[in-house]
């Protein structure tokens, strides 16, 4: 299966989920209060959130008035543009750095798929004929290290680990040192899942970030927050607090192969201006794709 069809595969459910209803709604060509109310419901059911939804709907009303749009198609285009205004249109790839290695820090709450994302990223680097080292920074959860090790074997790359319960900062420091010595292209740093309201764990993360900065000037080059597409409004709180502890450069949206729509990334982009860089659409190592905002939004609004 090609990359594009894979995204489509992932997004198809998004489409048939909300947008089956959406098509019907726009096809009516009636843009009255009833229409906007139903649109509101549809957007909220995609986890876009009350505040962002209300703003989107209000702006759409304005736009429809200004442009005197009467056809369903026109209104859909207006809505798409409004969403793209928020999430941007750029497509991102793997981090490029002048001086090797690129240090990539992967963060998130428990169970969103950090380790899996790292495994898939490693496979991606490998496919591009680049050398990576994985750093087993989750020293807390039982068997997290073994899980990462299996991914490292699959991608055929090296992994740096300490014993369970070790200081994650030390693991990452060692990994970065090793990466510099061996001239690899990137270090992918796993971290333990942590809920953002646990002050001590967020402080630990700040320390991790500081130590990485010390280990290599300019690092981390990429700080990716992994968000689970099934998560609701709490993802916004997660993004805000993680961003304070370690300024984010991007979001990875995982589990988009289910029925969840992942609309919360629109709210996150609106609040923090942090772009979505990758999406996870399955359990295989090549199921991590660059996020294409246009395709995402198109996917939301076109019929199959």
Residues that bind another protein (CB under 8 A): 13, 41, 44-47, 49-51, 109-113, 119, 140-144, 146-147, 149-151, 195-200, 228-237, 255, 257-261, 264, 271, 283
By beta-carbon proximity to another protein, the closer residue of 261 and 277 is: 261
Strand pairing report for 222-228 and 102-107: parallel
Identify which of 218, 145, 222 has the alpha carbon closest to the alpha carbon of residue 188. Answer: 222
- Shortest Cβ distance from residue 17 to another protein (Å)? 8
Query: What's the min distance (Å) between Cβ of 288 and another protein?
Result: 15
Q: How far is CA 131 from CA 38, 173, 183, in A?
A: 50, 18, 8
Burial class of residue 12 (count of CB atoms within 10 Å of its CB; 0-12, 13-18, 19+): middle
Contact 280, 287 (CB under 8 A): yes
Beta carbons within 8 Å of 41's beta carbon, 6+ residues apart: none
Of 144 and 269, nearer to another protein (C-beta) is 144
Q: Considering the complex, state which of residue 74 and residue 234 has its C-beta at the smaller distance from another protein.
A: 234
Least distance (Å) between residue 43 CB and another protein: 10
CB of 153 to another protein, least distance (A): 9
Q: Can you give the C-alpha Rg of the chain in angstroms?
A: 21
Burial of 127 (0-12, 13-18, 19+ CB in 10 A): exposed
Of residues 72 and 119, the one with the C-beta less far from another protein: 119
Q: Which one, of 103, 98, 139, 140, lies nearest residue 118 by Cα?
A: 103
SS3 (DSSP) at 138:
coil
- Minimum CB–partner distance for residue 134 and another protein (Å): 13
Cα four-point dihedral sign 67, 69, 75, 77: negative
Q: Which is nearer to another protein, 185 or 257 (CB)?
A: 257
Q: Considering the complex, state which of residue 92 and residue 140 has its C-beta at the smaller distance from another protein.
A: 140
Measure the CA–CA gap between 138 and 285, rounded to whole angstroms: 20
Please, which residues bridge with residue 114 across strands? none
- Spatial separation of the C-alpha atoms in residues 16 and 184, rounded to whole Å: 43
Closest contact distance (angstroms) between CB of 46 and another protein is 7
Is the Cβ of residue 70 or residue 198 nearer to another protein in the bound state? 198
Tell me the C-alpha distance between 206 and 183, whole Å: 27
Task: Report the nearest approach of another protein to the CB of residue 241 (Å).
Answer: 9
Give the shortest CB-229-to-another protein separation in angstroms: 8
Question: Residue 177 or residue 234: which is nearer to another protein going by CB?
Answer: 234
């Amino acid at each position: 299966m090609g990359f594009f069809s894979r995204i489509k595969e992932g997004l198809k459910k998004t489409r048939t989920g909300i947008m089956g209803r959406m098509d019907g709604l726009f096809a009516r060509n009636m843009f009255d209060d009833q229409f906007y109310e139903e649109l509101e419901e549809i957007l909220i059911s995609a986890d876009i959130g009350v505040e962002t939804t209300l703003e989107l709907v209000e702006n759409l009303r304005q736009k429809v008035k200004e442009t005197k749009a009467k056809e369903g198609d026109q209104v859909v285009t207006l809505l798409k543009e409004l969403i793209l205004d928020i999430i941007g249109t750029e497509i991102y790839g793997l981090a490029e750095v002048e001086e090797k290695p690129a240090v990539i820090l992967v963060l998130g709450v428990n169970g969103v798929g950090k380790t899996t994302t790292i495994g898939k990223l490693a496979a991606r680097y490998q496919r591009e004929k680049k050398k990576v080292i994985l750093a087993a920074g989750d020293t807390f959860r039982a068997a997290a290290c073994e899980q990462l090790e299996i991914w490292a074997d699959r991608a055929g790359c090296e992994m740096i680990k300490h014993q369970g319960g070790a200081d994650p900062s030390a693991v990452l420091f060692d990994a970065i040192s090793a990466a510099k010595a061996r001239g690899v292209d990137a270090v992918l740093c796993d971290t333990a899942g942590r809920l953002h309201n646990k002050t001590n764990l967020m402080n630990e993360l700040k320390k991790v970030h500081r130590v990485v900065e010390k280990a290599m000037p300019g690092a981390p080059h990429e700080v990716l927050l992994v968000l689970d597409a099934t998560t609701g409004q709490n993802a916004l709180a997660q993004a805000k607090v993680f961003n304070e502890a370690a300024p984010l450069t991007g979001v990875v949206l995982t589990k988009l192969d289910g029925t969840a729509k992942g609309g919360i990334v629109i709210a996150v982009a609106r609040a923090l201006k942090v772009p979505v860089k990758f999406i996870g659409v399955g359990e295989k190592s090549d199921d991590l794709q660059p996020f294409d905002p246009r395709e995402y939004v198109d996917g939301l609004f076109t019929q199959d």
